[in-house]
Structures are given as structure tokens and as C-alpha cells.
Structure 1
């Protein structure tokens, strides 16, 4: 992913998510700047049809939604898949699976044995099919999850 891809990322985000959790282009730019090795796009022909934005992070915490500043915590012990979305037309050709495999392979190559995410809008079953497990959230994490919507679920894959 590059800064030039951000208008397409914003377009895809609007196609896939409810208004209450949309993030600004500035927020995507900040995440990309903080973690360029873990942000990818899926392209079909000349068109960006999907994206994944990930950051090294500390397990048990989550990045703030729609912030204009992100920096990788020095104690980052895991990779956080902050957002992954694919246009409805590209879902049937395996764009999401390809991006997920790419980010998981990169995480492993960079030494991150654990990957976590926040599943939203009922997507936890998708992530479970890919080996992620629900993590019970304590009071503090539940407060942070509330920004991601009522159905937000904290999930992890890899070492505990």
C-alpha cells in the first residue's frame, strides 16, 4: 500500500462499513506511515479492490479508531490486523484470503508469532474459519471495544 492508494482505501471502507466506524484518510495515512511493511492492497486489473492495514502492537490493547497519529509501541509483541476490507465484487476471487495469507506470512517472517484483531459487524465467524479465537475482554478492553460497535469481538491467532 502507498499513500496514492488511500482514496481507494477510503472508497472501499465506505462500501463495507457502517458510518459510525468510518476512519479518515488522515488516519489511514498515519497507520501506513507507522507500519508500511504490514499494509497491503489487492488489485484487480488497475482497480484497488481490497486492503489490509496492520500494525505491530501490544497484545491486550487495541489502536484507537480514527486517530491522526500512530506509533508502534516499543513493547509491541504481536501484530494487530486493524482493518481488512474487500469490495463485494472481489470477494469471490479470493482477494481477502490472499491478503490475509500475505499479512500472516509477513508477520511470521518479522518474528510476530501472535496476531490479533477486532472482529466487527458479525465477522467473527469469518475469522474463526481462519484460526482466530475469541479472547474474553476485561473491563478496560470492553470500553475500548465499544468504539468499534456493539458486536466488536477481540480475537487472536497464535501463541497465547
Structure 2
């Protein structure tokens, strides 16, 4: 399958929502308007992989204060100046799995984040994705402050907060 990477646009949001709905449990599904708020605040950090049938995979990410992940289903406004990059969502369509798109999209988005002056990142791994993120260079801190632990718990019972230095993701 021949795929190319390009930045997402608002036109892509219905396809993003469709992939999200197929990839994630209902607790993680968000309407296109919510997903679009990530694209609005950081258009250079949101990428898609496109094939002959359209969008096959995507990443939504943006600058966000470290250790303060937004609640699921929250529309975002631009944050204050920060040095942290938050991966909101990475999803690969069924037909495109196993092609290395996750790594390619993370790297492309991390490049964009570095260009914005960001040097570290965090995310909440869900649905058993912790091992993937570990292979990418993310690690779970040994302990979380109570407020962050409560926020992570709101993402579901298997959610894991993970952090990385962006330069490690590109090595």
C-alpha cells in the first residue's frame, strides 16, 4: 500500500472521527468538533497518512502544559507558552496496521513540535498501548501527584501517563 504523510486539515475531520470510532472504545470517542480544536491550536503537529482510499491513520497533538492532560471530550483553546508536547490521539485504520505508520506519524509530529520550540512530551496510553509508547521512547514516571493520578484514572482503568524527551523520539 502506497501511503504519503501530510498535515491534516479541517476537511479531514470526518475521516479522523471515523478512524477513531473504529479504533477506540466508546469512552475515548469524540466528535469531529472536539478533534478539530486540536487541529486549530496546532495545525503543524497534526498529521495523516493517506492512501488511494483516503485517510488511513492520523496523529493529533499539540503544545500543552506538562502533567495536565485535558479531559476527554474537552474542546481546547490555545495554551499559554509551554515547552511540552501532548499527544492527544494516534490511530491507525485496520487496513494500514503493521506498516510502521505509528512511528512515522509520531516522528513527523515530533519534528513539528521541536520546530515550535518544544523539547519534552507526555501522553496517556490507553487500550494497552503502553508497550508501543515504550518502544517509541516514552516511560511512565515511578509515581504521580494525586491530581494527575486522578486525571489519568478518568481515562480508564488501564490508562498510563508517560513522558519523553522529543530528541529521543527521533533517534
Residue deviations 1:41-73, cap 9 Å, x none?
111124101110111011111012112x31232
Aligned partner of 2:90 in structure 1 is: 84
Any idea what SS the aligned residue of 1:71 has? coil
The alignment of Structure 1 onto Structure 2 pairs a total of residues equal to 158
Runs of 4+ deviating beyond 2 Å? none
1:143 aligns with 2:157: no
Q: Aligned partners of 1:51 and 1:147: how far apart in 2?
A: 23
- Unpaired runs of 5+ residues, structure 2, are 1-7, 167-171
1:100 aligns with 2:106: yes
Aligned partner of 1:13 in structure 2 is: 20
Report matched runs for 1:1-150 at 5 Å.
1-67=8-74, 69-135=75-141, 136-150=143-157
- Unpaired runs of 5+ residues, structure 1, are none
Q: Aligned partners of 1:109 and 1:30: how far apart in 2?
A: 20
User: TM-score scaled to structure 1, two decimals?
Assistant: 0.93
Q: Aligned partners of 2:78 and 2:30: how far apart in 1?
A: 19
User: TM-score scaled to structure 2, two decimals?
Assistant: 0.87
For the aligned residue pairs, the C-alpha RMSD in angstroms reads 1.4
Say which is worse superposed, 48-57 or 88-97, in terms of deviation: 88-97
